[in-house]
Structure 1
Amino acid sequence: MPALPEGLVLKGVSVEPRGRSIVAARVFQPGEIIATFNSPSIAIPDSPHLSTTCSGCLLPATPGSDPPSASQPARAVRACTGCRTVAYCSPACQRLDWATGGHKAECKIFKRVRAEGHDFLPTPVRALVQVLLRPEMGAAMGELEGHVDKFRRKSDKLWADMELQAMAALHYLGRETNAKSLAEAIEILCKSQVNSFNRLDEDIEQTGLFMNPALAMVNHSCIPNAFVQFVGRKAVLHAYQEIGKDEEIEISYIVPDVQKLPDSHTPDPLSSNESLNATVEEIYSWCSNPLLGLSESDKRKQLHRRWAACKPLRDSRTSAYAIEPLPRVLAEASIHFGEQGNFAYSLCISSFLATNVDPYKAAAPFAPQRVKGLLMIAKLLANTAPANPDASTGSSKALTSTKSLRGVISEALGKMDQATMCQILLELVVYHAPAAHSKEWSVFREAKELLGDLEALQGRETEEALVKAFMRNPNGAEEKLFFEQAIIGPLRELSAFCINILDSEFGS
């Protein structure tokens, strides 16, 4: 039986209808770390990224920032001299993977793979090889459910693929393929598919596989009270809301955080609108595809098409801006303008997401996407120049051309204390990032670095004192008023330009 971290208790048995469950041994507050899961575990990047990702710290090679930054250092990776397949960014990472990551045993396996003309093993096959090579991992997986019969009945093609994967692993291990060894290997493949996690890191757009038998016993819920973040070779379980003693801990196997809490009072526009449901079903898949890699012209065409397709969501009687794929379209538009150097437009859309979308998609202020959104706004504020005295100005009636719209936004920005806004947002990122992920998160490190640069500026002693007072006592009457005037009001003012921007750029 896998050992559970302190603070967790196993209840029930696997033969019960719901199976075993993990409950809290004490009360956990929102954002608190419930447990950290280390070994025995498998933590590997996807096989196609082996040559560009460090198999020790699981971070990809990167050229770093320009100018060099402590939060975004350059990282080069070099191939293992033994197998020439996996790569490492440092000798320390190589020693780590050699000792605890299983590469000591699999290095010679990859030599055989290369000798037969292949660059790597598919990710599921590599995971199977690691389990078969690591007795402690195999023993820890012993009591996990694999639902082999369900896999066998699900699809002949799926079962045939699993047989091929099992035979490949046994072949490269140099083990005999017979009925018994094949059945054991397939059972491990089934257990791996049922109990492993997609080690998704959206910040660096890398995926991989994480397998820890103790974490695998945490049950799924569509409305979870906890979420998992991956930090290097570890998985960190966070409380999304208060969890009482003896209350079951549940996570979503589909996404790393909560989309809607059970006590949310936000109306659901899809619950009673069949037409809107049909629209979402029709446009969701193609409107959610990333625009990365498209030409500038094709990106604009896609944004024009997607903005039009989302019109029913925009026009619904109950606000549906938090219903996908509309948030994705807004985010892609913000990225597009940022890439074009139009930081003011990107800032307005990001402000709209922060005030009108994210609080409904993820209610907790420490939700990872909300923390990342605050950092994005802070960086955009730093990149928006003061108002241009030559820019055109005017009232909302003048929002008929791109030039006049830019002028009005520029005028609005010129009246805002962008430095103070930026400092408050960075303070909030630093405060919430450990609960959202960890202090090892690149978002936390970048915010700390930017905050240090901002605090070094001269002549801001009064503003800095007000920011620090708010962070010490955010519920004080004066502090609340300061926050409303310094952040909430300006963000709402900027977000009010969002729909006009998108209509002017991508409307009919």
Structure 2
Amino acid sequence: MANHSCIPNAMVQFIGRKAILRAESLIQAGDEIEISYTDYTYPLSKRREALSPYNFTCQCLRCTKDMNIYQVCALSPNIDLNLGSLVFDPSKLRRHPATTSNSKAALANKYSEDAAEMIDSKETPNMLDERRRYLQTQYRKCQPLVREGFWSVSPLPQVLTEISIYYAEEGNFVYALAIACYVATYCDPYRYVAPFHPVRAKGLFLIGKLLANTAADTAALSASVQAMVSKGNFDQKGLQTLQEIDQVSLCQMLLFMVLQQTPAGYAAEWELSVSAREMLNDINQLPGRDQELSLINAWRQNPSSDQSRAFFEYAVLKQIDALASLGHEVLVTDFGA
């Protein structure tokens, strides 16, 4: 059995009925393999509460120095692995104000602890109208985090994820998509720095799934953006980017990215990988996409070439960034951020 750390170098990933031990960062010969017995993105009080049944007090750097999510992220050896992920500029993962400013760092911890009771809340109503009011209340409780731009600090990412789920269940797939893109770019990369972390892979798949739900009705996306523009909450540049979006190609590329994060040897067993392949098979049946497929195949074969990087930036990063910007405006309009 591996020992615990809140800055682990390995993780246990469940695939079907199997539990596999997977490196979360580079492990050198002689290094102790450590996993986290709890969700290491939680504030210190919640981590200690979760670890209390084990009858020990964690002495890792994260706990002894009460480091916030951004400080731990800045020290991660996995930052450079985010080239080719949804992070437009991986170096920004080292430069968040909660890393470089002592006062901001202290606020990140304080506000997270203040809202810690919201984590793992079991009170989410089933009825959509009641759930909306509930989520509005939860989001208001997170306003100190929102004002400071601490989007990765718990419980804010959990609340945003619930908001995305709410919109999807309401049938508003455009808003669900926009919020999911915001979580995937402003929350998860700081929380789980390794782009192959299952949470990051699930985020990619969720965006792909929501894109599939909106691809058949491109007018819905345009109408949603136009509504934001009419309220003065979205700029024309963002509007133009979203009007040019190729939802099918973006979905396809994200699904290929999911497959890249599949643990070796488990492509046929990991549910996420199986679902991604099924969706890709459906996309492959679509006619008239020869030019798009040529570009995507070139990107897959040599993602580090200048041409592939330029294509990835245009076809994925700029589109996701525009959708994430829409997600922020959805929060401003619907939840008062």
> Normalising by the residue count of structure 2, what TM-score does the alignment of the two structures yield?
0.76
1:494 and 2:278 matched: no
Q: Residues 320 and 261 from structure 1, CA distance in 2 versus in 1: closer, same or farther, beyond 3 angstroms? A: closer
By how many angstroms is 1:255 displaced? Answer: 3.2
Kept after mapping to 2: 8 A contact 1:219/1:250? yes
Correspondence 1:65-104 to 2 at 5 A:
none
Cα deviation digits, residues 462-507 of structure 1 (max 9, x gap): 2112112111211111000000000000110111112221222122
Which string of whole-angstrom CA distances, capped at 9 and with x for unpartnered residues, describes residues 249-289 of structure 1? 11111138997457242547386444543332222222542
Q: How does 1:400-419 map to 2 (within 5 A)?
A: 413-419=242-248
Partner of 2:278: 449
Supply the distance in 1 between the matched residues of 2:221 and 2:181 (Cα, whole angstroms). Answer: 24
Structure 1: distance between partners of 2:40 and 2:108:
26
Alignment counterpart, residue 172 of structure 2, candidates 338, 342, 345: 342
Letter in 2 for 1:332: E
When the two chains are superposed, the root-mean-square deviation of aligned CA atoms in Å is 3.1
Greater RCO, 1 or 2 (C-alpha within 8 Å, sep 6+):
2
Aligned equivalents of 1:499 and 1:388: distance in 2? 18
Match of 2:137 in 1: 305
Relative distance call for 1:381 and 1:272 in structure 2 (3 A) is same
Residue 238 of structure 1, CA deviation? 0.6
Q: Is the 8 A contact 1:368 1:437 kept in 2?
A: no
Determine the structure 2 residue equivalent to 1:243. 27
- The separation in 2 between residues aligned to 1:288 and 1:400, in whole angstroms, is 36
Amino acid of the residue matched to residue 162 of structure 2? E
Which amino acid letter does the alignment assign opposite residue 339 of structure 1?
E
Partners of 2:238 and 2:138 in 1: how far apart? 24
Residue 54 of structure 2 aligns with which residue?
none
Whether 2:91 is the aligned partner of 1:263: answer no
Q: Is the 8 A contact 1:375 1:429 kept in 2?
A: yes
Superposed CA deviations along residues 127-154 of structure 1, whole A, max 9, x for unmatched, are xxxxxxxxxxxxxxxxxxxxxxxxxxxx
2:108·2:153 contact (CA, 8 Å) conserved in 1? Answer: no
Q: State the AA in 2 paired with 1:297.
A: D
How many Å apart are 1:373 and its aligned residue? Answer: 0.6
In structure 2, C-alpha distance between the alignment counterparts of 1:295 and 1:249, rounded to whole Å: 44
Q: Which amino acid aligns with 1:252?
A: S
1:233 Cα offset (Å): 4.0
Asked whether the 8 Å contact 1:291–1:299 carries over to 2, the reply is no
Rounded Cα–Cα distance in structure 2 between residues aligned with 1:462 and 1:492: 24
**Residues 178 and 327 in structure 2, CA contact (< 8 A), matched pair in contact too:** yes
Runs of 5+ in structure 1 lacking a partner?
Answer: 1-215
Provide closer, same or farther for how the CA distance between residues 412 and 337 of structure 1 changes in structure 2, counting only shifts above 3 A.
Answer: farther
**1:470 paired to 2:302:** no
Name the residue aligned to 2:189: 359
Does 1:234 find its partner at 2:234? no
Determine the structure 1 residue equivalent to 2:3.
219
**Partners of 1:436 and 1:250 in 2: CA distance:** 23
Q: TM-score when scaled to structure 1?
A: 0.51
Q: Is the 8 A contact 1:433 1:439 kept in 2?
A: no
Distance 1:435 1:320, change over 3 A: farther
> 2:118 matched to which residue of 1?
286
Which of 198, 202, 206 aligns to 1:376? It is: 206
Alpha-carbon separation, structure 1, partners of 2:203 and 2:73:
20
Aligned length: 286
Work out whether residues 287 and 306 of structure 1, in 8 Å CA contact, stay in contact via their aligned partners in 2: no
Contact 2:173/2:213 (<8 A) preserved? yes
Contact 2:16 2:270 in 1 (8 A): no
What percent of counterpart residues are identical? Answer: 36
